[in-house]
Amino acid sequence: MTEKVNPHRVRTSSLGAELYEEESKILASIMGVRHLRDGELLIAEGGAEHTLFILAEGKLAVIGNNDGKETVLYTMAVGECAGTRAFVDRTPRKATLRAVGDTIVYTLAPDAFETLLDKHPRIVYKIMRALFRVTHTNLMRMNQESRELANYITKTHGRY
């Protein structure tokens, strides 16, 4: 028997924030569960797999590769999701995800998600809105970091 996804955890994640309890149960029913040990790779940069991930327990390091050196760009918290671009665009991964400590991740494959289109279009709509919010939040964070870096380099606005 395969492990079931906890609908409450889905509902309290950044992906399921708009879902009603019954909707989160429907979404959870098409999701999978991955257990990772400390240091275990979830996905590698450049990978062709397009699954979306919700961090259910533990931490995930988002790692970039800079001239052959791995750099932790961000550490995900419980409830955050990763892989939005690859999930929507079906393009290769832009970063590596590695477990920090024992970690549980919920997975959502694009093909499984698309099975909801006919019977549950409202759930699909809410998830797509959530994906847009996640992407927008990431973009705003990156813009803020870029401004802070520019302020530091140019020594403007007294923030150096």
61-101 pLDDT per residue, tens: 999 888 888 889 889 999 999 988 889 888 888 889 999 99
Residues 26/16, Cβ–Cβ less than 8 Å: no
pTM of the model: 0.84
34-44 pLDDT per residue, tens: 999 999 999 99
CA dist list (Å): 145 to 87, 139, 151: 25, 10, 10
Instruction: Tell which phi-psi region holds residue 46, choosing left (phi > 0), alpha (psi between -120 and 50) or beta.
Output: left
CA–CA dist 68, 50 (Å, integer): 24
93-152 pLDDT per residue, tens: 888 999 999 999 999 999 999 999 999 999 999 999 999 888 767 677 777 777 777 777
pLDDT tier at 1, thresholds 50, 70, 90? low
CA–CA dist 63, 154 (Å, integer): 28
CATH H-level, domain 7-154: superfamily: Jelly Rolls (2.60.120.10)
First-residue to last-residue Cα distance in the chain: 56
